[in-house]
Homo-oligomer: A and B are copies of this chain.
Amino acid sequence: MNPHDLMQTNPLLSDRVRLAIMALLTGSKDEVDFKTLLDRLELTKGNLSSHMRKLEEAGLVDVHKSFVDRKPLTTYSVSAKGREEIRNYLAKVEAVLQSAMGR
């Protein structure tokens, strides 16, 4: 496995915060709201907002807006494309690093 193969992974996932967000969404059966992401990942609002916008623009997450008790609620889920990119990222990283470490 060639280290250069890592260049074919989605550049957006090449960031541990965004990778953690995607892992959390991928592992959740239900949609996840903004506050839960904030709490689970211990991020600031500005930081999380910026990452979510990038992931949304790239089509890796789906955004759902609704009202609960007349308050707006935004929830997120991983998109089909996002799931595919995460699977591809893990496969590439595993193959390249395991090969490098002689595992």
The reply to whether B99 and A90 form a contact with Cβ atoms under 8 Å apart is no
Cβ of A17: which chain B residues have Cβ within 8 Å of it? 6-7, 14
Alpha-carbon distance A102/B26, docked complex (angstroms): 9
Q: How big is the A interface, by class? A: 35 or more
A40 contacts the other chain (CB 8 A): yes
Query: Which residue on B lies nearest to A39, using beta carbons?
Result: B4
The reply to whether B100 and A26 form a contact with Cβ atoms under 8 Å apart is yes
A80 contacts the other chain (CB 8 A): no
The reply to whether B16 and A6 form a contact with Cβ atoms under 8 Å apart is yes
A46 contacts the other chain (CB 8 A): no
Q: Can you name 21 A-B residue pairings with CB atoms under 8 Å?
A: A3-B20, A3-B24, A3-B27, A3-B40, A6-B19, A6-B20, A6-B23, A7-B20, A11-B16, A14-B19, A15-B15, A19-B93, A20-B96, A24-B100, A86-B100, A86-B101, A89-B97, A90-B98, A90-B101, A93-B93, A94-B94
